[in-house]
Amino acid sequence: MRIVCNEENIITITQEMMDTFLEAATICVEKEGLDPENMEVSLTFVDGPEIQEINRDYRGVDAVTDVLSFPMIEDFNDIIDGDEILLGDVVINMDRVKEQAEEFGHSLEREAVYLFVHSICHLLGYDHMEEDEKVEMRTREEEVMSILDLERRP
């Protein structure tokens, strides 16, 4: 698994945090029965105005959000062993990471990793538009966060 990271001067990513992102992505991919060896994810950190612009330009939604996911794979059954695979792009709004970490009472790292896991789940085909899909996606997110020892703390 590889993560191509673009910080855009929004945040300084420590090696420890990159290692956590890498472990999270690897767990997500392996939980789907996929081999992370030849997979890559693009990760970009932006601020509120920039994510609003991206959301407007690419999704037609003129609003700030916490994270955007742009999947590259439509059908994982079409993957051939050994192929290089770009799962897609993840864009995280660090302004929202800070706000939500404070709101939920946990660390910036925990919130950033959660949003990353949420986005990787989207890249792997999960969604939360219907209640049953939402339950399935939340269960997977919580499972991964638990393995990382980053569960929500009361």
120-147: pLDDT as tens digits = 999 999 999 899 999 999 999 999 999 9
Question: Is the pLDDT confidence value at 80 over 80?
Answer: no
Domains of the chain are: 2-147 (3.40.390.30)
Is-above-0.85 flag for pTM?
Answer: yes
CA angle (61, 118, 91) in 5-degree steps? 50
Structure confidence at residue 24 (pLDDT): 98
Q: What mean pLDDT do residues 71-93 have?
A: 89
Structure confidence at residue 81 (pLDDT): 75
Within 8 A by CB and 6+ apart from 142, the residues are 151
37-66: pLDDT as tens digits = 999 999 999 999 999 999 999 999 999 999
Residue 134 is encoded by which pair of tokens? Answer: 């939402």
List Cβ<8 Å contacts ≥24 apart for 69-74. Answer: 69/118, 69/119, 69/120, 69/122, 69/123, 71/122, 71/123, 71/125, 72/123, 73/123
